[in-house]
Amino acid sequence: MKTHRIALFDMDGTLADYDGRMRRDLKRLQGLNETEYALHDNKAPKYFGARLDLIKAQTGWWLNLPKLKIGFDLMRAAQELGFHVQILTMGPHDTPSAWSEKVQWCHKNIGRSVKITVTEDKSLVYGSILVDDSPKFISAWLTHHADGLGVLPAQPANDGFQHPRAIRYDGSNLEAVRKRMKSVLD
């Protein structure tokens, strides 16, 4: 099947296990009886955010993030349908080293031919599908792409998220997701 349709794929929480690796590293720095906070908890104290920043600033941290199966399932499905897969990832504003390591991660885990956009505003980037675990990014991107489809690999932060042009993939409903992806081609 020949198509010029583009499927954009997020990295952290989609193709790369940011959350899993971050929780593991935070655990190592946690004191006895210390309160545990959720990773994306805006109300967590300042020191918690500072720990995250220190962990992320380590050389090689982004490059060595493990692959996330749920995202690679979706990538294979998109490729099988004939979509051109491209990477669309946030460049962390305060961690410039991550921008380069994210590119290296893609070369190592996906291949050197994949096209990559590292950006501070995903909503501006053209595509037919965006696969991204963040409800915030999916919503913003769908606003700018009237015919676009959003696909969310299941993460705690997108539990219960609903949008008429989005579908959540929890590892068990690949056929339903494939159907929605295919409808973008028709």
Nearest distance, CB of residue 3 and Mg ion, angstroms:
25
Report in angstroms the alpha-carbon separations of 140 from 87, 129, 184: 17, 13, 19
Q: What are phi and psi of 170, to 5 degrees?
A: -105, 15
| Terminal-residue alpha carbon distance, the chain | 12
Q: State which residue, 82 or 91, has the beta carbon closest to Mg ion.
A: 91
Beta bridge partners of 118: 89
Nearest distance, CB of residue 89 and Mg ion, angstroms:
8
Nearest distance, CB of residue 125 and Mg ion, angstroms:
14
Q: State which residue, 128 or 134, has the beta carbon closest to Mg ion.
A: 134
Query: How far apart, in whole angstroms, are the C-alpha atoms of residue 105 and residue 11?
Result: 9
Q: State which residue, 10 or 145, has the beta carbon closest to Mg ion.
A: 10
Task: Write the interaction track for Mg ion spanning residues 9-28; mark x where CB under 5 A is met and - where it is not.
Answer: -x-xx---------------
Interface with Mg ion (CB under 5 A), residue from 133, 135, 161, 166: 133
Q: State which residue, 12 or 101, has the beta carbon closest to Mg ion.
A: 12
**Region near Mg ion per CB under 5 A, out of 43-51, 106-114, 128-136, 156-164:** 128-136
Query: How far apart, in whole angstroms, are the C-alpha atoms of residue 81 and residue 74?
Result: 11
Number of residues that bind Mg ion (CB under 5 A): 5
Distance from the Cα of residue 105 to its chain's centroid: 13
Query: How far apart, in whole angstroms, are the C-alpha atoms of residue 68 and residue 56?
Result: 18
What residues make contact with Mg ion under the rule CB under 5 A?
10, 12-13, 133-134
